[in-house]
A = this chain, B = another copy of it.
Amino acid sequence: MKQLNRQQIISIVSQLDLISPIENGFIQYSRGQVVIPPVGELLLDKGEVHIKYGYVKADDYYVIKIASGFYKNPEIGLSSSNGLMLLFNQQTGELVCNLMDEGYLTDIRTAIAGAICAKYLAPKKITAIGIIGTGIQARLQAIYLKTVTRCRHIVVWGRNKVKLDEYQCYMQEQGFSVMISNSIEELAQHANLIISTTPATSPILKAEYLKPGTHITAVGSDTAEKQELAVDILAMADLVVADSFHQCQQRGEIFHALTNNKISKGDITELGNIIAKGQGRMDDNQVTIADLTGLAIQDIKIAEAVYFSSNEKDE
């Protein structure tokens, strides 16, 4: 059994193309080649734990991910996110690799999914990347967009002035120019690729803010309670993409738009099908939406990719 700690995993990930394996995972998912049981959930006084697991039938492994969020941890100097991924042999059940990533790979695979959405759905010419929020996904989403766009201009909006300044400083070090906007409306006037990364529980991005040709990737909402986009945005969109048709009927932005009869199930396209076709956006005036709720297939693919790469290093 191999064991990789967070530092080793960070080092491996920095040298890895993760877009290809995760794209492949989304395709396999949409083709029904993946087994993913319902997510396990454990609720505690100070946090919550999710267990996501499954396997690609044609692969050699199954993966069980344990990811936790303990929201008071930062008060005592700990990260709120934690967890690990376990890779087992599909033929024997033997534990092959313990990836003690402490939540790192979940952050990365989420950012990779955002980059994949932008690859197929963002307009050809990106005027600015609009980032709503200042947390870890606000950073990683922009950093991984580097692999799919040359645009290095960010317009950011957040509620907290100190965090905005920190964000600006950090992202400038990453090679971006960063403009802090006074409102989400202003952000949407500058940016035609918008990534929303907040845990908002009522819509903060309105339909009337948007310019034609904008693509929005909604990353923040992964439960039935959370919502960042006004349902009118999904109603007006030319293309509404779900990471999982099944999961997006139960949580996230699409769930709200369906519940409010703003869109119908027939309006939804699954990300894996967009990737398989190699084309999402049809012209520069379309408004497109991608709703990412987070799938175990992303965990499976990133765990396998890191494990394979660690073996190559050993050789």
Contacts and interface: CB of A to CB of B under 8 A. Distances in A.
A15 interface: no
A133 to B, nearest CB: 22
B55 A44 contact: yes
Interface string A69-89: 110010010100011101010
Interface in A255-306: none
A64 B66 contact: yes
Interface stretch (A34-42, A166-174, A180-188, A208-216): A34-42
A53 B42 contact: yes
A66 B86 CA distance: 10
Contacts of A83: 93
A49 B62 contact: yes
Most buried by B among A53, A54, A90, A93: A93
Contacts of A43: 35
A37 B43 CA distance: 9
A62 B46 CA distance: 12
Contact of A51 (B1, B64, B78): B64
Interface stretch (A16-24, A94-102, A244-252): A94-102
A92 B86 contact: no
Interface string A1-12: 100000000000
A217 interface: no
Q: Say what secondary structure dominates the interface of chain A.
A: strand
B66 A94 contact: no
A14 interface: no
Contact of A1 (B40, B95, B100): B100
A30 interface: no
A68 B93 contact: yes
Contact of A40 (B51, B68, B94): B51
B68 A42 contact: no
Contacts of A100: 1, 95
Contacts of A45: 90
Contacts of A91: 46, 70
A18 to B, nearest CB: 24
A179 to B, nearest CB: 36
A115 to B, nearest CB: 28
Given A35-B42, A37-B41, A100-B1, A69 B93 contact: yes
A44 B62 contact: yes
Contacts of A95: 82, 84, 100
A47 interface: yes
Given A44-B55, A98-B98, 10 more contacts: A35-B42, A35-B44, A37-B41, A49-B93, A51-B53, A64-B66, A70-B91, A78-B94, A83-B93, A84-B86
